[in-house]
Amino acid sequence: MKNVRVTANHIHDVMRTMDDGACIYTLSAAPGSRIDRNYCADNNGPYGIYHEEGSREYADIDNVFRDTGARDHENSNATNNTGALTVTDNWTSDGSISLSDGQRGNVVTGTVVVSGGDWPRAARRGMDEAGVRGLNARAADGR
DSSP state of 105: G
User: Tens digits of per-residue pLDDT, 48-88?
Assistant: 999 999 999 999 999 999 987 778 888 888 788 899 999 99
Q: Whole-model pTM?
A: 0.87
Give the pLDDT of residue 136: 42
Give the pLDDT of residue 108: 94
Q: Which residues contact 141 (CB under 8 A, 6 or more apart)?
A: none
22, with CB counted inside 10 A (0-12, 13-18, 19+), is buried
Q: Which residues of the chain have pLDDT under 50?
A: 134-139, 143
Give the pLDDT of residue 98: 79
Residue 48 φ/ψ region, left for φ over 0, alpha for ψ in the -120 to 50 degree band, beta for the rest: alpha
